[in-house]
Amino acid sequence: MAVVKIKILNVIGRMSELNDVTTLLGKSGAFHPDNALSFYSDTSEFIPLNDENPYMSALHTLDETMKSMGKHVELLSSRMVEKIEPTVRGWKPFVKDFSTSVAGLLKKREEIAKLIEDDNKEIEKVSHFKNLDLNLDDLRNCQFVKIRFGSLPVDSYEKLESYEDDPYVVFFPSGKDEERYWGMYCAPTERITEVDRIFSGLYFERTRLHELTGTMKTSMSQLAERKQKRVSARSEIDRQIEALWNKEKQTVQNVYSWLSEEYVFYNIRRFAARYGDNFILTGWIPADRENQIRGWFDQLETVKYTFDNAENPEVLTHSPPVKLKNKKLFRPFEYFVEMYGLPSYNEVDPTILVAITYFILFGIMFADLGQGLCVMLAGYFMWKKLDMKLGRILIPCGISSAIFGTLFGSFFGLEHFLDPFYYALFGLNEKPISVMEPETTSKIILLSVMLGISLVIIAMLINIYSSMRRKNYTSAFFGPNGMAGLVFYSSIVFGFGGQIMSGKKIVTLPYVLCLIILPLIAMFFREVLGGLAEARPNWKPESWGDYIVQNVFEVFEFLLSFLTNTMSFIRVGAFVLVHAGMMMVVFMLAEMTSGIGFVLIVLIGNIFVIALEGLLVGIQALRLEFYEMFSRFFDGEGRPFTPVTVRQES
Amino acid sequence: MLSEFSSNVVLSKARAMYGKRLTVQNYADLLACQSVGEVAVYLKENTAYEKVLSGIEETEIHRGQLEAKLKQKVLEEYASLCHYEITVGEHFAQYFIKRNEIDQILHIILLLDAGIPENYLFNMPSYLLRHTKIDLKAFSKIKTFDDLLRVLNHTEYRRILEPFSPDENGWINYTGIESALYSYLYSSIFRIIKKYTHGETAKQLNDILQSYIDLTNFTRIVRLKISYHSEPEFVKKALFPYGTFREHLLDKMMEATSEEEITAILGTTEIGKRALKFEHDYVGEIPRRMNFRNCYHYLDFSTHPSVVLISYIVTSETEISDIITIVEGIRYHLATDEIRKLLIIVNN
């Protein structure tokens, strides 16, 4: 079996030892808790434990505080946390003091930052007038003249030409940007209202310079000085924050690590239930950790426990969680299986089948030595640098493509590049398989169909085995993917196929009656026959008429699926031809040019084919796996084994 | 033939540009704004007006500035579309410029009548200066009607305005001037349509213009008769001599004694039946709503570039009109629902 062996653990004890139990189980990193109440029939006297986690608030506060500082700590290892545990007894006041200090400093910083922003706006405003050589104090003291600083849209400035006769409507520009002129105008006190009205009509926007004194230049330097002081103050606060962090970093790490553990372990209680002053807790552990857990629990006073195999029929009803375990060679393909769905605990793990068939299908459909090697390298890069699971799958796929590419004699689309290799090794003048030759084309299609037939039969055999293991005799013997379906399918294929190919009469009346009609009848009445075989009391259908009508359509669907699933594999052959065809087009285009043009077109064409066809072939092969094969034997309704852990494994 | 087909690019271009119009959500967001600045910010950050509003100071923008910027966008787009419309584009561009010139002339006459012609400068559209032959800056210096005629000396408008010199009391016949100028404008556009277009193109263009003229004449009759109690002769002179309404129909309207009666007479016409389906608070809304509706239809369905060109401009101008309505509503603190009722596109 390619799943980790699991056992169910039931624990009972006094409430006083619940913390110890959850801590031990949490530290094991191998305990998958389950809802204890679902394992008992009469739970009326049980109370679920939904206490608030006492560590949540402090952990959250510490987390938020570090985020606000832009800091981060790595979690200490479990052993280190055990060591430092005595030092974190005062965690509550520490978390409170630390977060309060940081919050205070950050608040001050924010206030200063806002003042700096205001200074920036003020400086920008005043900078427009820096070319005006005027003393603001003198201007304010003027009795007979009023001065206005501000800006005018460019359009309006051009309109001022119309006031050239009016000596009081004059604008003195000091600066200009794309949309506005910045400067000032002035007028005698008795005319200022009229002049203000004219400028207002021209959309003059006034800039008030109340706080400034001296000339524009001195005002600007005053503002710059003030801003600089505030920037220094902000830097000082930053320094204080950094100093605080340097001082407390180790303690923060210790407390944070300890709190993270305690928080996670405490959460295990949510799965437990209370009965008086006792608790019950249920979960799953890998079988190889049983002795370790026993050793720990034996040290506790009131705790009693039992282990049970997950294979037990009673335990199976609770759907044990599943962790796949395969050899390193096949492990990358667990990604595809998990994509479809994990197998139930007593279901067959299809990983090895997927690994082998996907390897073959991809290789056949994407057969090119050079391109296969490129795919392999791309997969390696994706796995190592980008940490992508798909990369690990592409490596064997690339190798398969290279192997089949060598067989079909294709190297980056050059169909005769490997001819010397064949001559040297086998004495052949050219490659043995030339996919674009007319006689080869039909053979490729035929072989694809035969491959499909083989894989469908293999899928049925797996289903029979899997169903027998699960004591599902209906599916094993009478279902469309069981013995009846297998006999029916293979007798049609080999009977008619053999008859056509060999010319001998295979399909006779007894053959048809026993190997085609009889299995068909078995499939039609599979539920009735299965019920009898399993000694089910309700084997009879409620209404025979409904049963027959329903099954007519269902059997029709089975028969159609046999045909379509088989024909679906023609795409394998089609992709062989497509690949060769696409490279033929690339070379046709390349031959229209010469020199560097030829090289570029071949290069770009290969890249394009690798990317596009690689993607298509990958998807099509997966489709064949999921739809044509998995649908025959695999439900994928398992749930994953997710033990409680504090630290994520990389 | 080939050059006519190349005008078809206007179809795609105009429709693509129209695709960037304000959505229902945009209108809702604009109605939620509290100031002109907020409206300007919203238009700049969320709509196709971003480019034309790029350099503005949002917090300090005035309503007049905003309107000028928006109208500038329409003018620039129109010039760009006319450039592609090879058959009549250049002539339609001239029509658009003339319309703007007439608006400016009427504006200065209003200010002259109010005794504040110098205020013209404040709202003078600078973007029009390089397209028009009229010295718009000189408008702000005029003091009398004769000064105006002098400024318009080298243009065809002088001849049109000369008969309307103020009487001895200084009264200016604004309505008569408006009719004369717009009659001149419509005569030139109908001449262009007759000379340069034919068949279905001419039919659709005439439909757009004549239905608008019909409804405008209707509105004028209602306003002058009912609101101003004008004499029938005066009303007759104020009407545009175009449109599909026959003289006897117009006479019937002028003889009617109430708005409801005039509206009922309108309802007997084909255009009237369509127009009266719109809900309206006052008759002045009817021509604009109907014109928008017509042009919106042609923009979607017409296959004639010049029709789509005109339709696009009308719909764009309607959009700007709605934006300005919202801005004015905000400035005068009208309730959102009240402002919404005044909008054309949202209630279409």
Mutation for B interface: A128, A160, A179, A203, most B CBs within 10 A = A203
Question: Which residue from B62, B65, B137 is facing A161, i.e. has the nearest CB?
Answer: B137
Fold classification of A129-206 is Alpha-Beta Plaits (3.30.70)
Residue of B nearest to A166 (CA): B141
Residue A232 or B257, more confident: A232
Instruction: Check CB contact of B126 with chain A, cutoff 8 Å.
Output: yes
Q: Which pLDDT does position B86 carry in this prediction?
A: 66
Quote the minimal CA–CA distance from B136 to chain A in Å. 10
Confidence of residue B57 (pLDDT cuts 50, 70, 90): low
Question: Listing from the earlier edge strand, what are the strands of the sheet with A205-206?
Answer: A172-176, A180-188, A145-153, A205-206
Q: What is the mean pLDDT of chain A?
A: 90
C-alpha of A647 from chain center: 19
Considering chain B, what is the average pLDDT of its residues?
88
* Distance in angstroms (rounded) separating the CA atoms of residues B173 and B164: 7
Q: CB distance A159–B62 less than 8 Å? A: no
Note whether residue B30 is domain-resident. Answer: yes
Judged by a CB distance cut-off of 8 A, whether residue A202 touches chain B is: yes
Render pLDDT for A461-486 as a digit per residue (tens, 0 to 9).
999 999 998 888 889 999 999 999 99
Pick B122's closest partner by Cβ from A161, A202, A205. Answer: A202
Here the tokens at position A543 are 């209404």
Structural domain boundaries enclosing B40: 2-116+173-342
Find, in chain A, the residue whose alpha carbon is nearest to that of B60. Answer: A205
Determine contact: A124 vs chain B, CB below 8 A. Answer: no
Question: Over the stretch A552-591, which tens digit does the pLDDT of each residue have?
Answer: 999 999 899 999 999 999 999 999 999 989 999 999 999 8
Residues of chain A positioned with their CB less than 8 A from the CB of B128: none
The reply to whether residue A159 touches residue B137, judged by beta carbons under 8 angstroms, is: yes
For residue A159, the chain B residues in CB contact (below 8 A) are 121, 124, 126, 137
Chain A hits for B119, CB-CB cut-off 8 Å, are 201
Q: Once rounded to an integer, what is the mean pLDDT over residues B198-212?
A: 92
End-to-end Cα, chain B, rounded Å:
37
Best interface-test mutation with A: which of B71, B122, B129 has the largest number of A CBs within 10 A?
B122
Which residue in chain A is spatially nearest to B69 when comparing CA positions?
Answer: A155
CA atoms of A343 and A338, how far apart (whole Å): 9
Contact B60, B37 (CB under 8 A): yes
Provide the pLDDT for residue A62. 94
Residue of A153, A162, A177 with shortest CB distance to B141: A162
Contact between chains at B55 and A158 (C-beta distance less than 8 A): no
Q: Which of A238-252, A430-444, B173-187 has the lowest mean pLDDT?
A: A430-444
Judge: B57–A180 Cβ closer than 8 Å, yes or no.
yes
Chain B within 8 Å of A632 (Cβ-Cβ)?
Answer: no
User: Would an 8 Å CB–CB cutoff place A128 in contact with chain B?
Assistant: no
Mutation target vs B (from A152, A155, A157, A182; most B CBs, 10 A cutoff): A155
Local structure of A172: helix, strand or coil: strand
CA of B66: which chain A residue's CA is closest?
A: A203
Give the pLDDT score at B2.
46
Helix (H) or strand (E) holding A47: strand A47-48
Flag whether pLDDT at A104 surpasses 90: yes
Residues of B with Cβ-Cβ distance to A204 under 8 angstroms: none
**Residue B121 and residue A203: Cβ atoms within 8 Å?**
no
CA A422/CA A406 separation, integer angstroms: 10
The three-state (H, E, C) secondary structure of A493-554, written as one string: HHHHHHHHHHCCCCCCHHHHHHHHHHHHHHHHCHHHHHHHHCCCCCCCCCCHHHHHHHHHHH
Pairing of strands A205-206, A145-153: antiparallel
Mind listing the pLDDT tens digit for each residue in B137-147?
Answer: 888 889 999 99
Residues A179, B119: C-beta atoms closer than 8 Å: no
Which residues of chain A does B64 touch, with a Cβ-Cβ cutoff of 8 Å? Answer: 203
Q: Sort out which chain B residues have CB atoms less than 8 A from A155's CB and list them.
A: 68, 126
Q: How far is A222 from chain B (nearest CA, A)?
A: 26
- Report the DSSP beta bridge partners of residue A145: A188
Q: B62: which chain A residues are within 8 Å (Cβ-Cβ)?
A: 203
Q: Is the pLDDT of residue B109 over 50?
A: yes
Q: How many domains does chain B have?
A: 1
Identify the closest residue of chain A to B141 by CA–CA distance.
Answer: A162
How close B9 gets to chain A, by Cα (Å)? 33
B51 interface with A at CB cutoff 8 Å: no
pLDDT reading at B3 higher than 60: no
Q: Report phi then psi at A285, rounded to 5.
A: -135, 155
Nearest CA-CA distance, residue A204 and chain B, Å = 9
Q: What is the pLDDT of residues A110-164, one digit of tens each?
A: 999 999 998 898 888 888 888 777 888 888 888 899 989 888 888 888 888 888 8
A179 at B interface, C-beta within 8 A: yes
Distance in Å, alpha carbon of B319 to nearest chain A alpha carbon: 24
Rounded to the nearest angstrom, the gap between the alpha carbon of residue B166 and the centroid of all alpha carbons in its chain is 26
- Distance (Å) of CA A518 to CA A491, A558, B287: 12, 15, 83
Among A469, A500, A515, A459, residue whose Cα is nearest residue A631: A459
To the nearest whole percent, how much of chain A has pLDDT over 70? 99
CA B270 – CA B276 distance, rounded (Å): 10
Contact: A162, B121; criterion CB under 8 Å:
yes
Q: Chain A closest CA to B165's CA: distance in Å? A: 25
Q: For A193-246, how does the pLDDT look when each residue is reduced to its tens digit (9 = 90+)?
A: 999 999 988 888 888 777 778 888 888 888 899 999 999 999 999 999 999 999
pLDDT tens digits for range A46-100: 888 888 899 999 999 999 999 999 999 999 988 899 898 888 888 999 999 999 9
* Residues B179 and B238 sit within 8 Å (Cβ to Cβ): yes
| Rounded mean pLDDT, B113-120 | 89
Q: Which chain A residue has the Cα nearest residue B68? A: A155
pLDDT for A618 beyond 90: yes
How many contacts (CB atoms, under 8 Å) link A and B? 30
Q: Which residues in chain B have their CB less than 8 angstroms from residue A197's CB? A: none
Select the residue of A151, A179, A201 nearest B122 (Cβ to Cβ).
A201
Q: Does A155 touch chain B (CB under 8 A)?
A: yes
Length of chain A: 650
What's the confidence (pLDDT) of residue A156? Answer: 87
pLDDT at A254 over 90: yes
Residues of B in contact with A178 (CB under 8 A): 55
> Pick the residue with more confidence: A376 or A50?
A376
Question: In chain B, which residue's Cα lies nearest the Cα of A150?
Answer: B60
Chain B residues whose beta carbon lies within 8 Å of the beta carbon of residue A153: 65
pLDDT grade for A650, boundaries at 50, 70 and 90? very low
Query: Is the Cβ of B140 closer than 8 Å to some Cβ of chain A?
Result: yes
Q: Is A146 on the interface with B (CB under 8 A)?
A: no
Write the CA distances from B273 to B205, B270, B290, B329, integer angstroms: 20, 5, 11, 31
- Asked if A460 contacts A488 with a C-beta cutoff of 8 angstroms, the reply is no
CB contact under 8 Å between B121 and A179, yes or no, is no
B125: nearest CA partner in chain A: A155
The reply to whether residue B126 touches residue A205, judged by beta carbons under 8 angstroms, is: no
User: Boundaries of CATH 3.30.70.100 in chain A?
Assistant: 129-206
Distances (CA, A) of B55 to A62, A122, A200, B35: 46, 20, 19, 18
| Interchain contact B110–A (C-beta under 8 A) | no
Tell me, yes or no, if B68 comes closer than 8 A to chain A by beta carbon.
Answer: yes
- In this prediction the pTM is 0.64
Q: Is the minimum CB–CB distance between A161 and chain B shorter than 8 Å?
A: yes
Give the residue from A77, A53, A63 showing the smallest Cα distance to A252: A63
Residue whose structure tokens are 């082998």: A356
Q: Which of A255, A211, A233 is nearest to A94 (CA)?
A: A255
- B55: which chain A residues are within 8 Å (Cβ-Cβ)? 177-179
Q: Do A162 and B60 touch (CB under 8 A)?
A: no
Q: Is residue B137, in this structure, part of any structural domain at all? A: no
- Round to whole Å and give the CA distance between B194 and A633: 79
pLDDT at A413 over 60: yes
